[in-house]
Amino acid sequence: MGKNNNESISIILPTYNEAENITDLICEIELYIKNNIGVSPEFIVVDDDSPDRTWEIAQNYFDANDNVKVIRRVNQKGLASAIWTGIQAAKGNLVAWMDCDFSMPPFKLVELINKVHEGYDICVGSRFIKGGKDIRGPVDSWIAVILSRAMNSSISFLLGSSFKDYTSGFVVARREIFEKIKFQGYYGEYFIDFIFKARQYGYKIIEIPYYCAPRRSGISKTGSNMMDYISKGWKYILLTLRLKFRKN
């Protein structure tokens, strides 16, 4: 059964050097959700002590907005733990998270939230189902596009072809799920583990297509050359093989 549209929503925004994006992103998300869902979401910015002082910019800009909470992590690093820190601080019945560079369109959150209201437990923005596309351009290396598709095809083959975007990280989920599933990993590999376990538990999951756009500004955190991608990618493959072995 879907829940009513007055559910509280917490949006986790993990940041590192996103000073040029963070205020516009929060303003756009809030506008779309208030106008289309009818609620004011809670925002939790979890910043890993960005040298460009993303945390300070967010704090100062939204100082009078009680719906925006900024967590500055000085001695902690990592995408997975940043999102988990946000989830633990979240008050909403629904929890969402996404990248902060505008590669994931803010307006698409409305569709993901509405799908949860229809009865799904986890709704994932997907680049690799019909209607989705990875169109990252010159700011983000073409290597990312090619390797991301190859990586996801391999993971989907090993863990189950009914799910396509195992490295998405664009999600809306029911809060109670995180009482059963904890995050494993440092960077994007956490999402492979999360989806695998969610499917094992029998949660109702849907992928919604979206166009992954070029980042609006700044530098990709995934990497800028082949060695960067290999250094992260082998962790994805090792985790996938461990899950496959456990599955069998």
The 3-state secondary structure of 90-103 reads CCCCEEEECCCCCC
Instruction: Yes or no: say if 177 and 121 are a contact pair by the CB < 8 Å rule.
Output: yes
CA 24 to each of CA 29, 51, 55: distance values in angstroms, whole numbers, following the listed order: 9, 19, 14
Averaged pLDDT score across all residues of the chain: 89
Is 2 inside any structural domain? no
Considering its fold, how many domains does the chain have in total? 1
Is 176 inside any structural domain? yes
> Average pLDDT for residues 178-184, to the nearest whole number?
95
Rounded CA-CA distance 205/29 in Å is 23
Is 58 inside any structural domain? yes
> Does the pLDDT at position 2 exceed 60?
no
| Residue-wise pLDDT tens digits, 80-95 | 999 999 999 999 999 9
Domain span at residue 138? Answer: 9-247
Our CA angle for 202, 159, 147, nearest 5°, is 130
End-to-end CA distance of the chain: 32
Is 1 inside any structural domain? no
Is 119 inside any structural domain? yes
Whole-number pLDDT of residue 125? 98
Confidence (pTM): 0.89
Whole-number pLDDT of residue 3? 43
Is 135 inside any structural domain? yes
> Does the pLDDT at position 210 exceed 90?
yes
CA-based nearest residue to 119, from 7, 22, 235, 244 = 7
What's 20's domain CATH number?
3.90.550.10
Rounded CA-CA distance 130/208 in Å is 9
> Does the pLDDT at position 53 exceed 60?
yes
Q: What percent of the chain is modeled with pLDDT above 90?
A: 67
Is 121 inside any structural domain? yes
Q: Which residue has the higher pLDDT, 141 or 146?
A: 146
Categorize the per-residue pLDDT at 221 as very low, low, confident or very high, splitting at 50, 70 and 90: low
Is 39 inside any structural domain? yes
